[in-house]
Amino acid sequence: MIENAARLEAELRRLKNGPRADESPGGIGTVRFVAQCPAQAPLVLTKVASVLTTVDEVALKDWPTEEQWLSKLPEWFTSAFVSPMTSEQAERWLAWWKTLPADEQARVEIEKDWSPDNWLHWMEPGNRQWYWWDAKVLDDVHRIIMAVEVDAWPFPWGALRWLFKAAGASSFVEVQTCSDALR
């Protein structure tokens, strides 16, 4: 837990102040994403950072129950969750999903809403494989570029994509190349 605590503390510092000039990412480096925001990107970025800040601050003390998390996270965020599927619903959904071509499976996964238990699972420090590095709103105020520090490639980033979606982004995609908008 000590390593996880250090990573959460470093992430908290970067959420508030950005990376230090002499700081280098750990793991295998950073992966960059662009979020498209039909509304104002600064608001989306503020919302995302506030949720991650809450998660880190709480996780450094203890990992609450799902019900406790729902009372700690902002209402705009918790109201975006869907109810968890029953076993029967999950089996039916999986059977349907398996009938789809691979490109449709990927699209359905991207568009699928998350339940609290699913999202919280991927945010637990022992399950996380990415940490906020830096982010900024681009000049057109409808896009955010962000970088996350990652442990390995590929890595599960659906919880991060869903957080951006819940905050108001219409898309959140990895970028292969980008300008030096972020170090």
pLDDT digits (tens, 9 = 90+) for 40-73: 899 999 999 999 999 999 999 999 999 999 999 9
Domain assignment present for 151? yes
Query: Around Cβ 129, how many Cβ atoms within 10 Å?
Result: 16
For residue 180, tell me if it sits in a domain: no
Candidates 6, 116, 119, 15; CA nearest to 66 is 116
Task: For residues 51 and 72, give the distance between their C-alpha atoms in angstroms, rounded to a whole number.
Answer: 10
Q: How many CB atoms lie within 10 A of CB 149?
A: 23
pTM: 0.89
Chain-centre distance of CA 104, in angstroms?
22
Pairing state of beta strands 29-36 and 171-175? antiparallel
d(CA 125, CA 121): 9
- What tens digit of pLDDT does each residue of 77-120 get? 999 998 888 889 878 888 888 888 888 888 877 778 899 999 99
pLDDT, tens digit, for every residue of 135-170?
A: 999 977 899 999 999 998 889 999 999 999 999 999
Please check whether residue 19 lies inside any domain of the structure. yes
Q: Quick check: is 183 in a domain?
A: no
Is 180 a residue whose pLDDT tops 50?
A: no
Per the structure, how many domains does the chain have?
A: 1
Beta strand residue intervals within the chain, DSSP E:
29-36, 130-137, 143-150, 171-175
Nearest to 131 by CA among 20, 1, 28: 28
Strand 143-150 vs strand 130-137: parallel, antiparallel, or unpaired? antiparallel
Query: Does residue 83 fall inside a structural domain?
Result: yes
Residue 103 included in any domain: yes
Residue 182 belongs to a domain:
no
How far are the Cα atoms of 71, 74, 90 from residue 144, in angstroms, in the given order? Answer: 28, 21, 34
Range of the domain at 35: 2-175
Q: In this structure, is residue 77 part of a structural domain?
A: yes
Query: Rounded mean pLDDT of 15-32?
Result: 94
Strand segments, DSSP code E, in 12-124 are: 29-36
What does the pLDDT read at residue 178? 43
